[in-house]
Amino acid sequence: MTDRPHLAVIGAGPAGLAATVAAAAHGVRVTLIDSAARAGGQFYRQPAAELNARRPQALHHQWRTWERLRDSLARYVEAGHATHLTDHHVWFVERRLNRGARAADESGPRDSFTVHVLVGPAQEDPVEVRADAVLLATGGYEKVLPFPGWTLPGVLTAGGAQAMLKGSLAVPGRTAVVAGTGPLLLPVANGLAAAGVDVAALVESADPKAFLRRTRALAAQPGKVAEGAQYAAQLLGHRIKLLTRHTVVEAHGDERLEAVTVAALDTDGQVRPGTERRLVCDTLAVGHGLLPHTDLAETLGCRLEGLSVHVDDEQRTDVPGVWAAGETTGIGGAELALAEGHIAGRSAAARLTGVVPDPREWATAAKSRTGLREFFAALDTVYAPPACWTDLVTDDTVVCRCEEVTGGAIREAVAGLGAGDVRTVKLLTRAGMGWCQGRMCGPAVAGLAGCELTPSRRPFARPVPLGVLARAGAAEDDEHQ
């Protein structure tokens, strides 16, 4: 019996799950590698098993889709076609060029990959997973632009509030303001309210009229429009005040958050003087959109377009043997991730078994993909942070949270030392040199430096103990001596 080709899927969110199920169903052995204890990623984040939640669907949308994926995965694991590795934190994917490989031979894999992982409660112990191909479904994370007081305890990301709610059944406090911009704010506000938090307001900087300018693109996805309407209705039901064309100008508190000041924006995105008002709250859930995780892809040499991994119609990157799907190829939500994951899984299964795939077999997913990509491209023009956000950042406002680099230090590097790009600002101020390696402050530094945000090169997707690094890949190299 010949061995099935082995595909490593990294990330067990909607894209990774859809890819795993699609690939396992078509002749490929899949190892699904994920850093969480349970599958689901962010969108389908499940409460920890020990919480014994009998009605987790109360916290979720599209529960039945999740159930189908979860059950499919379980069937393939049971059948031995898939393995699900939990609490596995990938820090590097190594591409090993096949020794003795000759010119392109489409009948089988030529390169192989080693996925370098950290496991254990402190993510200290090394594990290496070898595969014939990898599929990157590494998801996204929240973008937050700084404002005075944003580092106070009690201020957290909108997605973070949702993650704590879904994963730990915990809420941060009693009274919350949800703020920023983006479609994520609606379910977060509703979710917190349903869980008993008093949500004082949803503060959205976008202009509702901007939706009207994009009606055609938006109406092309009636499902998404209905979803939005549902969120809006829930907002009303929870009596959450919706303040559009407003922004948080400052968060107040001593050791923790006590209140925020919000203000109205004019049509140019500038604060309208005299419209400031104070909202008492102990929690501020804030977000300004999402950014893709692209570290593993970039280190593998995959081409990026803007901030996202470039893929073709089969979800292949330009590195042979590497597929990518979901937020990592461009922010577009769970449904798009499902479509992309499915196509990626089908393509990988075909290519790895030496078959040229017929795209008609995933025509539905492809149509969904096209439509949703257009929808989210339209949304991107609607949901914008306020044009004046850099003005709100004072010289004392911490911009790089990890290294505590202020707006003033960054401005000094730009004006006084001639820094004009994110990397040079980093070298001259340390902004982006801390634990998070610039993930959180990158957009802000780019904005303050007046330049484009370009992807950072991060060979280590996670901090890795030097003792682990000292042995990483060595055993395999020895084998090939």
Closer of 28 and 286 to other proteins (Cβ):
286
Is residue 419 within 8 Å of residue 413, measured between CB atoms?
yes
Beta-bridged to residue 260, according to DSSP, are 251, 279
Contacts of residue 358, Cβ cutoff 8 Å, sequence gap at least 6: none
Residue whose C-alpha is closest to residue 23's, from 43, 37, 8, 45: 8
- The answer to the question of residue 35 lying near other proteins (CB under 8 A) is yes
> For residue 174, what is the DSSP state?
S
Residue whose C-alpha is closest to residue 194's, from 231, 158, 221, 167: 231
Q: Which one of 97, 105, 125, 151 is in contact with other proteins (CB under 8 A)? A: 151
Distance between CA atoms of residues 43 and 62, nearest Å: 10
Strands 304-305 and 308-309, bridge-based pairing: antiparallel
Find the farthest-apart pair of alpha carbons in the chain and give their distance in angstroms, rounded.
76
Q: Which one of 170, 226, 233, 363 is in contact with other proteins (CB under 8 A)? A: 170
Binders of other proteins in range 81-140 (CB under 8 A):
92, 94, 121-122, 124
Binders of other proteins in range 274-303 (CB under 8 A):
299, 301
- The answer to the question of residue 54 lying near other proteins (CB under 8 A) is yes
Closer of 49 and 356 to other proteins (Cβ):
49
Is residue 334 within 8 Å of residue 62, measured between CB atoms?
yes
Q: Sign of torsion, CA 189 193 197 199? A: positive
Structure-block tokens of residue 32: 């699904």
Q: Which one of 37, 212, 229, 363 is in contact with other proteins (CB under 8 A)? A: 37
Binders of other proteins in range 381-440 (CB under 8 A):
398, 401-404, 413, 416-421, 423-424, 427-428, 430, 433-437, 439-440
Contacts of residue 222, Cβ cutoff 8 Å, sequence gap at least 6: none
Q: Which one of 23, 33, 40, 42 is in contact with other proteins (CB under 8 A)? A: 42
- The answer to the question of residue 56 lying near other proteins (CB under 8 A) is yes
Q: Which one of 3, 466, 478, 481 is in contact with other proteins (CB under 8 A)? A: 466
Could you tell me the smallest distance in angstroms from the CB atom of residue 124 to other proteins? 8
Binders of other proteins in range 218-247 (CB under 8 A):
238
Residue whose C-alpha is closest to residue 60's, from 42, 75, 72: 42
- The answer to the question of residue 322 lying near other proteins (CB under 8 A) is no
Q: How many residues bind other proteins (CB under 8 A)?
A: 91
Q: Which one of 16, 40, 148, 172 is in contact with other proteins (CB under 8 A)? A: 172
Residue 141 backbone dihedrals phi, psi, to 5 degrees: -150, 170
Residue whose C-alpha is closest to residue 145's, from 453, 458, 382: 453
Closer of 354 and 463 to other proteins (Cβ):
463
Q: Which one of 77, 169, 264, 384 is in contact with other proteins (CB under 8 A)? A: 169
Could you tell me the smallest distance in angstroms from the CB atom of residue 481 to other proteins? 12
Structure-block tokens of residue 476: 């395999």
Is residue 318 within 8 Å of residue 348, measured between CB atoms?
no
Beta-bridged to residue 324, according to DSSP, are 136
Could you tell me the smallest distance in angstroms from the CB atom of residue 434 to other proteins? 7
Closer of 223 and 420 to other proteins (Cβ):
420
Distance between CA atoms of residues 72 and 303, nearest Å: 32
Residue 406 identity: T
- The answer to the question of residue 450 lying near other proteins (CB under 8 A) is no
- The answer to the question of residue 313 lying near other proteins (CB under 8 A) is no
Q: Which one of 2, 3, 55, 78 is in contact with other proteins (CB under 8 A)? A: 55
Q: Which one of 160, 321, 326, 330 is in contact with other proteins (CB under 8 A)? A: 160
201 C-beta neighbours (distance < 10 Å), count: 21
Could you tell me the smallest distance in angstroms from the CB atom of residue 170 to other proteins? 4
Binders of other proteins in range 330-389 (CB under 8 A):
none
Residue range at the interface with other proteins (CB under 8 A); choices 326-334, 345-353, 368-376, 456-464: 456-464
Q: Which one of 145, 156, 202, 296 is in contact with other proteins (CB under 8 A)? A: 156
